[in-house]
Structure 1
Amino acid sequence: MSARTAWSGIVRSPLGLTALSLFLLVALTAIFAPIIWGAQAEQVNPAEITQGPSAAHLLGTDTLGRDVLARVLVATRLSVVLAVLAVIIGVVAGTLLGTAPSVLPRWAGRPIVGFVNIAVAFPGLLLALFFAVIFGVGTTGSVLAIGFAMAPQFARLTQTLSAAIAGRDFISAAQVAGVSRVRILIRHILPNIGEPLIVNATVAAGSALLAFAGLSFLGLGVQVPAYDWGRLLGEGLNRIYLNPAAALGPAVAVVIAGLAFNLLGETAAAALGGRSARRRHALPAVASSSPRADAPQPAQVDGDDVVLLVDDLRVSFPTPAGWVTPVRGVSFAISRGEAIGVVGESGSGKSLTALAAARLIERPGHIDAARLDFCGTSLLTSPDRAIRSLLGTSLAMVFQDPMTSFNPTRRIGSQLAEAASEHQGMSRRDAMTRAVQRLQSVRVPAAARRAHQYPHEFSGGMRQRAMIAMGLMNHPRLIIADEPTTALDVTVQRQVLQLLAGVRRDTDAAILLISHDIAVVAQTCERVLVMYAGRIVEDLPAAALHTGAQHPYTRALLEVVPELDADRDAPLKMIPGRPPAPGAFPPGCAFADRCPLASAVCRERDPELAAAGPGHRVACWHPVDDRVAASAAQAQIEEETVPR
């Protein structure tokens, strides 16, 4: 998203529109009010001394007969200018204090850090009064007092931001290259912390207005014949029982200007947040969802039984260099009551595929597909309300770590009951009754008592059972289990897998099981999808996994599974090399650099996912279809594992 697009989107929001309107009102008043109403504000009229509001003087007149409203409008320029000057002083002084420890030797930087820590502990207005006494009464003294009173907060902010940037690799590289500390500060640190400082400075301008009004009200700020809102407020307060409008006018002006600066800061933060790293890199448009001629087609299934249909799914995320697509062209289908396992190394796109199917990819992530249908409803074109209702009642997610999936401050039963109350309109009592029943159905002992306990009172296996029970609170047609047994011991792992199998048998729900463990998937599922570098490289029946796998990567995954009768003195088997990064997929087959059967064509063209038998698809130029090739691949893997 470009800077112009970001700002235009924010400005069109209610917050942005209000902030812009108020800021323009204050700015235009500060510029033109002295020109338009300057003479009226200074005109003394003894015949109209201390009059109340009237058609000629909306806020009345002061003790010299001058129009109070005109003086409030004219005072906008001085009030705003003084506040801005104080903020500039505070930002400059705070930045110098905050960055000094990174430039000066440690023995000189520590006292500065200690001084900032002590100064931050004092209230800003108290510091302003302290500095006002030091610098003296008057406009100059007030500007310096408020500016230096704001410096500690900017110093602390600068220290925090600088510390975060100082740990980056490019700072270490500059230090190794011999770049001086001052140059690192100017060229590398300050440009990366500029935007947060500007946003906070905008918000601080509203506080500076209030501080100036307070000092002038106490007689320490602007002195006659000059006047600002604080001085006008003090004069109006002396006659508040005779003419309340004289005090109300400058007070309202201070509030409006303060809101303008604070809302402007919030708007700037919303527009600039997360954009610093890519503000100079315009991102290309994401490819449209039109189907590709060479896109792998999902397995053919009966349309009435299809629960999830994925056709040419792509998931993309923006980076400074452009869009990165870690899931690229995934196609498959799941039928009612079917169990499909998805296996692959970390970073292969398994979880992203599942999250995309559940519409859990948040912006700026982008989902693109020729078709993405759940229970016959398109998840790409249907209204959000209809999709939320469908997914809330027919889709269940079982995550890898149930401790982070449950709210630690709420009881298990209430969290389960919320699902039924939200999507089925059940009463609180009925929903809690169903929650206890669902906990019983997943074999949680003493379910009625357990429902009133907190997540930390459950063991890992019990939390995973409760997570499955939450999915069963409605009537799911698909259960997506993303690494549901990774953090569990072998015994509990078996119980959870048996529980999922029982749920599938009892409810006829389809299961999409994501796992690193290909052995678990082979024992639990009917079909296996093998993913590598964001693509499905093989789709085959689980019964044929050990004997009929044809892709070298699938074979390698099977070979690295440890066995009980393996030689303990021999090194563990492993797949040589590492998977490519999502933003650095090589041309051709992504597994070519790690494959012992790779040839020139593998590094030039990416193979399509083509039929290799009944219910079997494979994407490989050299599928392993005989024992000789399989033995050669295994020999290469074992050779890579021998220590040198």
Structure 2
Amino acid sequence: MARRRGSVWAAAVRTPVGACSALLLAAVVVLAVLAPILWGDAAAAIDTDAIGQGPSGAHPFGTDSLGRDLLFRTLVATRLSIGLAVLATAIGVVAGVVLGTLPAVLPRWAGRLLTAVVNIAVAFPGLLLALFLAVIFGVGTQGAVLAIGFAVAPAFARLVQTLSASVSGRDFVAAARVSGVGRIRLLARHVLPNIGEPLVVNATIGAGSALLAFAGLSFLGIGVQAPDYDWGRLLREGLDGIYVNPVAALAPCAAVVLAGLSFNLAGETVAAVVGLRTRATRRAAGPLPAPRPSAAETPDAGAVLVVENLQVAFPGPGGWIVPVRGVSFSVRAGEAIGVVGESGSGKSLTALAVSRLIEAPGVVTADRLEFGGKPLADASDRELGTALAMVFQDPMTSFNPARRVGRQLAEVSEQHHGLSRRQAFARAVDRLAAVRVPAAARRARQYPHEFSGGMRQRAMIGMGLMGEPKLVIADEPTTALDVTVQRQVLRLLARTRETEGAAILLISHDIAVVSQTCERMLVMYAGRVVEDLPTAALPDAARHPYTRALLATTVDLETDREAALAVIPGRPPEPDQVPPGCAFAARCPLASDRCRAEDPVLAPMAHGHRVACWHPHETAVTVLSGQSREEGAA
């Protein structure tokens, strides 16, 4: 773990930002430590023969009113300037953490009062608040440190409150609270450790702002006082003779800028490591795994979508994780295909890969991935935006909550069809009416939260119909909807297929919904298609034990209500722990030694029917809910 963490830091430092921040920060630290030792006496030496001189060979930045060398004084001032800025930042972070966590410990009324005070303080500019506090704490180094520290604190307190609120709603915090853990211990053990990383990043960046604020107070004469000096005081002294020697003011100003830049770049580097935005993880994952051979079907010449040996991989701590492996299928024009399987089987990732929505560091590979007869990689965003529609599982998160529904639909036509704002909005109203949204003109001017769940799903389908889609991918479109609304949404998809001639790829965990809506069904398990069969032949034609198990768990009106609900024993393997051989072998009553050693290929069984199983013709004895059921294979 330590070696991996070190490699992440090394990779971050090798980036342009990381290298610049490391060099600048190292230079600042070295100067802060060594400059007073090496040039302290030279910076304090008074030369009455060189008072107020400009740049020269002996004094590159000139001298001040007492003949002291300004270059040496700027270098020596590094220690005090950096030290005070870091001290003020530390005070601000500590005070911010205390103020941010106190509302969770104090009584409700006191917590609300403290939160209101923090919010008011955040509304004021930091430097203005520092000036106000400097008057209270007094002129001088100590007062300036306290003023800047407490001026920085409200912003950190607000950040702590926000981060704490996001963590406090998680299950492990609720479990700790139920188990009787006290509030202070809950904060110290469960909340603060989970928000420490963003605080470190913001503290690093905030040190640059504290440095600038401290220089500003010293420049105004209420910070560091003589005989001590920092960059702000040197800047004030240099400003008095700026017309005689401009370099005198330029030297401390450049020092403040470079030191502040080093802190900000260091914060960006820390953020890159904390957020894993470097390429260290991908480099550690090694080469991509070779895609497994897959017996692909022969697609029709006019197939809308052709997928052969699709693989989706993500880098992990121990190498590449492949949640989708060797998926092959095709979708004909006007055809409805359903994809079923348990959660984690790779259904949604397959849809996202087809829609080109897999983002880095995920990697998508395929022997053949074509849409509309054209390689998907060569299709432009404009072509996909008009020919491929995606209906997501939760339309509430798919719509922008800050924009009206009609304007979001109209944006599609504005971007892809070149329509004017008014024409695009009129088309949006027409599409909402086409998907049976009542009072479409009025609804188009409403926000997503004013729609019901089923109506939002209809609006999402209407957004897909703003173009002329050849394929509509519906990812769990009926999840969390009551059965009446589910039926309406499924009917709408069927009507869309009839009127628009679009093919449908319906993803669902409900095999009954797919069997009633689609012509073909793809059954996925552990990232693979294990069976591809016509839905008209269900349940007799199903040959894979997993498909038969899914059918056995389906509840209908003829199900015996007195009997226990059927379940599939065990659970699917994790994507990074797929065993050799057939992934379903551990849960399959037909599993043999061959199943555990060799992974079956998706092979043809009959016309339009493929199955990946070593025992497709055998009689299955599937154990569900502790009871044996005989399922005769045709």
Does 2:422 correspond to 1:422?
A: no
Structure 1 unmatched ranges of 5 or more: none
Deviates more, 1:332-341 or 1:616-625: 616-625
Which of the numbers 548, 554, 560 marks the counterpart of 1:561?
A: 554
Counterpart position of 1:329:
326
Which of the numbers 454, 457, 460 marks the counterpart of 1:464?
A: 457
Q: Secondary structure at the match of 1:548?
A: coil
Q: 1:321-353: CA deviations, max 9, x gaps?
A: 433222222111112222111111111111111
Matches for 1:142-181 after TM superposition, within 5 Å: none
Q: Secondary structure at the match of 1:546?
A: coil
The code of the aligned residue for 2:558 comes to D
Counterpart position of 2:614:
621
> 2: CA distance between counterparts of 1:149 and 1:445?
54
The code of the aligned residue for 1:255 comes to V
Which of the numbers 610, 614, 639 marks the counterpart of 2:627?
A: 639
Is contact 1:203–1:264 with CA below 8 Å preserved after alignment?
A: yes
Q: Secondary structure at the match of 1:612?
A: strand
Which of the numbers 300, 316, 340 marks the counterpart of 2:298?
A: 300
Tell me how far 1:546 sits from its aligned partner.
1.8
Tell me how far 1:482 sits from its aligned partner.
0.7
> 2: CA distance between counterparts of 1:76 and 1:435?
62
Q: Secondary structure at the match of 2:307?
A: strand
Matches for 1:520-599 after TM superposition, within 5 Å: 520-599=513-592
Which of the numbers 493, 498, 507 marks the counterpart of 1:500?
A: 493
> 1: CA distance between counterparts of 2:153 and 2:395?
45
Which of the numbers 207, 212, 215 marks the counterpart of 2:214?
A: 212
Counterpart position of 1:285:
286
Task: Using structure 1 for the length normalisation, give the TM-score.
Answer: 0.78
Counterpart position of 1:359:
356
Q: Secondary structure at the match of 2:539?
A: helix
Tell me how far 1:21 sits from its aligned partner.
6.9
Matches for 1:56-95 after TM superposition, within 5 Å: 61-66=63-68, 68=70, 71-84=73-86, 87=89
Is contact 1:116–1:152 with CA below 8 Å preserved after alignment?
A: no
Does 2:371 correspond to 1:374?
A: yes
Is contact 1:407–1:455 with CA below 8 Å preserved after alignment?
A: yes
Matches for 1:26-425 after TM superposition, within 5 Å: 26=28, 44=46, 46=48, 49-50=51-52, 61-66=63-68, 68=70, 71-84=73-86, 87=89, 196=198, 198-217=200-219, 221-237=223-239, 246-247=248-249, 249-274=251-276, 283-287=284-288, 292=292, 295-302=293-300, 304-379=301-376, 382=377, 386-425=379-418
Change (3 A) 1:322 1:118: farther
Tell me how far 1:364 sits from its aligned partner.
2.3
Change (3 A) 1:366 1:70: same
Counterpart position of 2:593:
600
The code of the aligned residue for 2:353 comes to A
> 1: CA distance between counterparts of 2:200 and 2:27?
21
Q: 1:273-322: CA deviations, max 9, x gaps?
A: 1489x98997432425x654xx22222122x3122222222222333343
Q: 1:405-454: CA deviations, max 9, x gaps?
A: 11121112211111122223332223223222322332333333332222
Q: Secondary structure at the match of 1:547?
A: coil
The code of the aligned residue for 2:208 comes to G
Q: How many residue pairs are counted as aligned between the two chains?
A: 617
> 2: CA distance between counterparts of 1:154 and 1:137?
25
Q: Secondary structure at the match of 1:473?
A: coil
Is contact 2:414–2:421 with CA below 8 Å preserved after alignment?
A: yes
> 2: CA distance between counterparts of 1:640 and 1:402?
41
The code of the aligned residue for 1:564 comes to L
Change (3 A) 1:8 1:307: farther
Is contact 2:291–2:311 with CA below 8 Å preserved after alignment?
A: no
Q: What's the Cα RMSD here?
A: 4.8
The code of the aligned residue for 1:270 comes to A
The code of the aligned residue for 2:627 comes to E
Change (3 A) 1:458 1:207: closer
Aligned-pair identity (%): 62
Tell me how far 1:359 sits from its aligned partner.
1.3
The code of the aligned residue for 1:285 comes to G
Tell me how far 1:355 sits from its aligned partner.
0.8
Is contact 2:512–2:554 with CA below 8 Å preserved after alignment?
A: yes
Is contact 1:51–1:60 with CA below 8 Å preserved after alignment?
A: yes
Change (3 A) 1:372 1:3: farther
> 1: CA distance between counterparts of 2:156 and 2:425?
51
Change (3 A) 1:208 1:494: closer
Task: Using structure 2 for the length normalisation, give the TM-score.
Answer: 0.79
Tell me how far 1:527 sits from its aligned partner.
1.0
Tell me how far 1:373 sits from its aligned partner.
2.2
Is contact 2:335–2:504 with CA below 8 Å preserved after alignment?
A: yes
> 1: CA distance between counterparts of 2:486 and 2:526?
27
Counterpart position of 1:448:
441
Q: Secondary structure at the match of 2:538?
A: helix
Is contact 1:576–1:640 with CA below 8 Å preserved after alignment?
A: no
Tell me how far 1:548 sits from its aligned partner.
0.8
Tell me how far 1:262 sits from its aligned partner.
1.9
> 2: CA distance between counterparts of 1:6 and 1:371?
35
